[in-house]
Amino acid sequence: MLAIFNKGLVDPPKELNSPNSHSTGSGYKPKYPEEIVRMFQQTYSHNAPLSMGFGNSAFLAYSSSKGPQLHQQRIFCGLDNIYCIFMGHLNNLNTLIKQYGLGKATNEAMFVIEAYRTLRDRGPYPVDQVLKDLEGSFGFVIYDGNAGTVFAALGADQRVQLFWGIAADGSVVISDNVDVIKASCAKSFASFPSGCIFHSEIGLTSFEHPKNKMKAMPRIDSEGIMCGANFKVDVSSKKITMPRVGSEANWAFAGSQT
């Protein structure tokens, strides 16, 4: 799968961007979104990848072929201008479908969209509790065309992997194919941290340890060159939080409180 989001839409952690990406000895040079899209389509040309562009804001693409990690399924779904690429499996999907009152034909991507939309519009539940209810190996990316927001999450068991990086124009690139990320972002890439979420309004947080801050760990490649950073939970640092009122802390946070 591939997701590209314009730098005006998504503000990634600054540590993800490596100053060595444009150096001649880096092996790769970061590409522009148009180049990345062509490369992805060529990589999966044997399986006719599905792709969708949203002006200059976002681009989503996926191939239904099995992924490199444990042959996990990939599902794409769009509903009411909300789009989701889902990888992996939810072991308790049937239970979740009943809990949310959805139809039996609902797949994982459809469920994630429905849960996101419900919580965005009227749910008072915090994101960490919602994602902890998802049992299985999963990773997903949501683009909400109505709110202009991006939401990505990766399960805690590390059986599904995502990678993210910075393209030549500052856009954020997310993919499950590390070779695509390397070729797209040069040195400015890292593994997406497991047990974490990224929302374009609130940044990177952990749903496994929601009270702890995230910290960036500089990443050094085999040539000793500093690359983008890996992100981990800082077990010694706690967030200073205000008591939650209403739905302001849910996973569809829109940053509208004043």
pTM of the model: 0.86
pLDDT over threshold 80, residue 234: yes
- The total number of structural domains in the chain stands at 1
Intra-chain end-to-end CA distance of the chain, in Å: 36
Phi-psi region of 8 (alpha: psi -120 to 50; beta: other; left: phi over 0): alpha
Q: What are phi and psi of 219, to 5 degrees?
A: -110, 130
The pLDDT assigned to 27 comes to 63
Within-domain flag for 40: yes
Residues in CB range of 230: below 8 A, 6 or more apart: 190, 191, 193, 216, 217, 219
Would you state the torsion angle of the CA atoms of residues 115, 118, 119, 120, taken in this order, to the nearest 10 degrees? 120
Residue written as token pair 């010694």: 236
Residue 230's pLDDT band (cuts 50, 70, 90): confident
The pLDDT assigned to 71 comes to 61
Residue 22's pLDDT band (cuts 50, 70, 90): low
Within-domain flag for 254: no
The pLDDT assigned to 123 comes to 60
Spatial contact of 21 and 30, defined as CB atoms under 8 Å apart: yes
Mean pLDDT of the region 190-210: 92
Residue written as token pair 């939970």: 233
Q: What is the pLDDT of residues 120-165, one digit of tens each?
A: 887 666 777 788 899 999 999 999 999 999 999 999 998 999 999 9
- Range(s) of the domain holding residue 9: 2-238
Residues in CB range of 84: below 8 A, 6 or more apart: 75, 76, 77, 78, 109, 110, 112, 113, 116, 140, 141, 142, 143
Within-domain flag for 257: no
pLDDT over threshold 50, residue 30: yes
The pLDDT assigned to 219 comes to 80
Q: d(Cα 184, Cα 188) in Å, to the nearest integer?
A: 9
Q: d(Cα 131, Cα 7) in Å, to the nearest integer?
A: 26
Question: CA gyration radius for the chain?
Answer: 18
pLDDT over threshold 50, residue 249: no
Within-domain flag for 253: no
Residue 193's pLDDT band (cuts 50, 70, 90): very high
Would you state the torsion angle of the CA atoms of residues 248, 253, 254, 257, taken in this order, to the nearest 10 degrees? 20
Q: How many CB atoms lie within 10 A of CB 89?
A: 18
Within-domain flag for 10: yes
Q: What is the pLDDT of residues 54-105, one digit of tens each?
A: 999 999 998 876 544 446 789 999 999 999 999 999 999 999 999 999 999 9
Within-domain flag for 250: no
**Residue 50 or 3, more confident:** 3
The pLDDT assigned to 70 comes to 42
Within-domain flag for 194: yes
Mean pLDDT of the region 190-202: 93
CATH code of the domain covering residue 66: 3.60.20.10
Q: Nearest Cα to 153, choosing from 93, 195, 181, 118?
A: 195
Residue 108's pLDDT band (cuts 50, 70, 90): very high
pLDDT over threshold 70, residue 197: yes
Within-domain flag for 39: yes
The pLDDT assigned to 91 comes to 96
The pLDDT assigned to 174 comes to 98
By CB neighbour count within 10 A (0-12 exposed, 13-18 middle, 19+ buried), where does 4 fall? Answer: buried
Residue type, position 192, single letter: F
